[in-house]
Structure 1
């Protein structure tokens, strides 16, 4: 049974995230067509798992929120905030991970030019057993938070370690970007920034679409457009879920200046 913010997802409204097949991985035009059709690219093994696991080890060691196996630990919240927002988020290890050649190089190849990485990069550590509204990322699409730049920002969601569905990874609403694009053009969607809802089952019915899920592995990356509706599942395992979401765009396109400071949970975005 999968839940998000305590809402039970209907098995009739669930599907599997489609991996990009190996034959398409080097075909830029095929990938662009797939992204336009599906709103996401599920790239298995884009990153070296050893690099992912090394950053995961660093994060847990530095913050103390879990042991090396991901088993949660009790930490002082004030000290955690100091370390997370004062050392880890603005630190060189995180910057190097997000700008590693396998990731930046892929974006440069796919976008066909010099890229720009937004400074506001988010790390989420989600403990098990949390449920109820407000405990998992609610359904939204990224453009509502990035309106002051190009709408061609491409987000990368990266599980920092193996992430089966029980750990509460991201889920994507199938084909949702097509409707969002239409409604954005018509000016009928929410302004200013706001999540759509915590009620994923009702949203699936409204869109007549499935929520797509996957068992992610260290090294996997999901690229999604700024119009693709996504949310997080609840963590019903016994381990900490660790992930990061970052955003690249062509350097020549307009940049949302509000996203050029390091992420903080009180930055108002």
Structure 2
């Protein structure tokens, strides 16, 4: 689905037009994400995370490691012809002569594709990347894998205080977002991880630079409070309606779409709740940590150079406490998790 644009009266922020699925964001509908440094005292960082529901860390991972991961991903998908030819693979520039419909994004839902079509071949390659050794590692090859990057793992273990109980959840979402295509809808992660306590920490890692208008994640101002309230109200109503514990875990809230997304219209959702979307440009090496109820979405990728936004969602849990072990598997299309 290609998202239409229109000519705005004024840019959203810093001279840039920011679009979500339901249109252009006005200047009064956004604010900047607050950046932090990994070198700040961990107590101070955790206090900020608890207050905001997120922690935007600049330069946690060495830039060259992120760009190596980006090159590995796009090298594997280059045969699907979604990259502009005769440019460095690591740049990840979308093939301007291709149809965006042939390169659908992947997420939690089922895709209805014709077997053998360009779109099906592309999705197969994108799904396979979740099990490539550069990404998940290989004991046989002595490769740690990007998912287990020591800079991320060590920071999360120290930041949460989980220490040796810190576990990288096996199921991850390695997403590419081509210019102009449908953006990520409004959601919070506990919707998908209800078989565990709401204590997981997601680390969103942009794999490469993402311009302000390049389709990066956006966070709802104080969105974790709204997510917590929604989940509490849903659980209360579900139990009052006689649902079993399993039914409560599997059921989607009446406020959600069939995929678990709260809304496909971020602008309307934020206005309904009287909140702004918090936005940023990201550089290779940056990460954002967010909690289980933190509400987030993404902008539409309108990178002026046609750069494909590549990022991964890594989730961490305290292995000494109950967590959603349905996620102890590799990602598959339509796996129902």
Q: Which residue of 2 aligns with 1:89?
A: 130
1:37-92 CA deviation, whole Å, 9 max, x = no partner?
00000000000110000000010011113333221235733333333323x21122
Q: TM-score if structure 1 supplies the norm length?
A: 0.91
Which of 14, 21, 32 does residue 30 from structure 2 map onto?
Answer: 14
Secondary structure (helix, strand or coil) at the match of 1:234 reads coil
2-structure distance, mates of 1:171, 1:101:
26
CA distance in 2, matches of 1:182, 1:136: 25
Query: In terms of Rg, which structure is larger?
Result: 2
Say if 2:170 is the partner of 1:119: yes
TM-score by length of 2: 0.73
Superposed, 1:81-160 pairs within 5 Å as 81-86=123-128, 88-95=129-136, 96-112=145-161, 113=163, 114-130=165-181, 135-160=182-207
The answer to whether the 8 A contact 2:53-2:291 is kept is yes
Alignment match of 1:172 (pick from 212, 219, 226): 219
Mapping 1:23-102, distance limit 5 Å? 25-64=39-78, 65-66=82-83, 67-73=89-95, 74=98, 76-86=118-128, 88-95=129-136, 96-102=145-151
Cα distance between partner residues in 1 of 2:74 and 2:237: 39
Query: Contact between 2:22 and 2:266, CA under 8 Å: does it hold in 1?
Result: no
Per-residue deviation, 1:179: 2.5
Q: Which has the higher contact order (CA 8 A, sep 6+)?
A: 1
Structure 1 CA distance for aligned equivalents of residues 317 and 334 of structure 2:
25
What does the per-residue CA deviation read over 1:108-127, in whole Å, with 9 as the maximum and x for residues that have no partner?
Answer: 11121221111111111111
> Does the 8 Å contact 2:67/2:90 carry over to 1?
no
Give the C-alpha shift of residue 176 in structure 1: 1.1
Greater shift in the superposed pair: 144-153 or 194-203: 194-203
Assess if the C-alpha contact under 8 Å between 2:180 and 2:301 holds in 1. Answer: yes
Give the Cα–Cα distance (whole angstroms) in 2 for the partners of residues 218 and 188 of structure 1.
42
For 1:253 and 1:263, the matched residues in 2 are separated by 23
Counterpart CA distance in 2 for 1:43 and 1:111 is 15
Q: Structure 1: 5+ residue runs without aligned partners?
A: none
User: Aligned match of 1:247 in 282, 295, 315?
Assistant: 315
Q: 1:123 to 1:3 in 2, by over 3 A?
A: same
1:129 shift after superposition? 2.1
Q: Which runs of 5+ in 2 are unaligned?
A: 1-16, 84-88, 103-117, 137-144, 239-250, 253-258
Distance of 1:189 and 1:164 partners within structure 2? 42
Q: CA–CA distance in 1 between the matches of 2:328 and 2:47? A: 30
